[in-house]
Structure 1
């Protein structure tokens, strides 16, 4: 005797056969404005964030950044080995931003003249080019170390009032340390810029793979050169008070390409915002 499945069951059978389990994805439990997000999707062939293609390591590691003013939701797209895309909606928690007032700065450091602005624009182009670097080794996935230890004197995202005038938010972490304090690389990577800049003085950029970059500003000395490979914790210079400062400190910035993110949460013991 021949047994036949009911028509409804027969129609459902191909869908059951074709179904695939969703890709395994690991992300931080809470994602906020200003976050550097390190994810893992071992079965992913490729990934994209907000329409931009992400590098994915052979182990499935990838990274993306959310700016200070990121909206409440972002879109991550993963593609499995069969070429099937999966869209994941990511909730982005808002943060509260402090106001920081700095007085006593030289007038030209708050309102540069025309010649200064020409220099600043040229330097910004070099910074932008360095931040476009995208190398394949995910050094960032090995974790970050403090480049110098000291009191936190400035936080990421705070609104800056300079000599009484509102200016752009502070997009970095300030560590109050004396001139000449040894400076260490926060993670392994390649030096993409080593230059004396108008606002940030002696400045180093190190790219840690997949467009993740750290910036070290106001240095008294730079001991590495552009193109040099460095390891996490390697001496790269000394802190100082060059550029626009009210006192000696290290300004530590972090970027995912052109997007500035908060370095504090990914440093050992750094608080979750």
Structure 2
């Protein structure tokens, strides 16, 4: 698999220039915090991104930004975020209308990645081919989780650098194909970190708990933390949950414990990330400058 590298150098455009991103070499600083010093009159996006990336750009405060048919929320200092799916093909087009009405477009290339196949054996058969009644339960539970991902809160917790929720060996990577007990399954939607049962799980970034349930059929103990602007983290297979829906958590705060609940062959944390319904790679988010 091609390694997931850090985002390429950012390129800047002067607002009002009706062209694509500036030529390579015109590097600009990646903004990892939403601070007054970051507010200026430029449009700043990466020249290229990998599949599965979470893209954070800068626009003049008060701008209207549209991407993939959606008008994006912007922070008071001009930060904007969107996700790139596992199977995205470029170029991506972002439209920016400045407060004075001038229109700019950014074109972002997408670097494809190689997705390996992972064989997962020893999974309980009833979780691989569930009977009809269980399949209906799974659909209901997945719908509950999907429902909390439509939130578009104005909090900018996503703009700070993320940290690992638990230390340990990466035992499963985002995007890989999965074969459970010899039967093809859906591609892996997050990052698995092997750790002993009971290991504290800490918030990778601040946010609000929007979902907490100790007993989902496939994912076991499950928590979703919303980081604002459609960005959320999900934590699966937990043995214990120490927060409730509506709680605010700060970065580094312990809120749950590693387990092997749901469809799991051993204790580990599954950490997934979304931008609304688009799954993104937590490892790329960690590697963001």
TM > 0.5 fold call: yes
TM-score, structure 1 length as denominator? 0.88
Select 1:73's aligned residue among 56, 80, 91.
91
Residue-by-residue CA offset, 1:143-162 (whole Å, 9 max, x unaligned): 11110000000000000011
When residues 20 and 263 of structure 1 are mapped into structure 2, their CA distance, relative to the original with a 3 A threshold, is: closer
The answer for the alignment partner of 1:15 in structure 2 is none
CA distance in 1, matches of 2:75, 2:134: 42
The answer for the alignment partner of 1:153 in structure 2 is 171
The answer for the alignment partner of 1:199 in structure 2 is 218
Contact 1:173 1:263 in 2 (8 A): yes
Counterpart secondary structure, 1:88: strand
When residues 229 and 25 of structure 1 are mapped into structure 2, their CA distance, relative to the original with a 3 A threshold, is: same
Unpaired runs of 5+ residues, structure 1, are 1-18
1:249 corresponds to 2:268: yes
- RMSD between superposed Cα atoms in Å: 1.7
CA distance in 2, matches of 1:137, 1:84: 27
Displacement of 1:218: 0.4
The answer for the alignment partner of 2:180 in structure 1 is 162
Counterpart secondary structure, 1:119: helix
The answer for the alignment partner of 2:77 in structure 1 is 59
Select 1:26's aligned residue among 39, 44, 50.
44
TM-score, structure 2 length as denominator? 0.84
Larger radius of gyration: 1
Question: Which stretch shifts more, 133-142 or 36-45?
Answer: 36-45
The answer for the alignment partner of 1:137 in structure 2 is 155
Tell me the matched-pair count.
Answer: 252
> What are the equivalent positions in structure 2 for 1:41-120 lying under 5 Å apart?
41-43=59-61, 45-120=63-138
1:259 corresponds to 2:271: no
Residue-by-residue CA offset, 1:154-199 (whole Å, 9 max, x unaligned): 0000000111111110010000000000110111110010012111
Residue-by-residue CA offset, 1:182-219 (whole Å, 9 max, x unaligned): 11011111001001211110000000010000001100
CA distance in 2, matches of 1:20, 1:193: 42
Residue-by-residue CA offset, 1:74-118 (whole Å, 9 max, x unaligned): 111111012233222211110111110011111111011111111
Unpaired runs of 5+ residues, structure 2, are 1-14, 19-40
When residues 216 and 224 of structure 1 are mapped into structure 2, their CA distance, relative to the original with a 3 A threshold, is: same
CA distance in 2, matches of 1:70, 1:247: 32
Counterpart secondary structure, 1:126: helix
1:124 corresponds to 2:142: yes
The answer for the alignment partner of 2:206 in structure 1 is 188
Counterpart secondary structure, 1:25: strand
1:212 corresponds to 2:231: yes
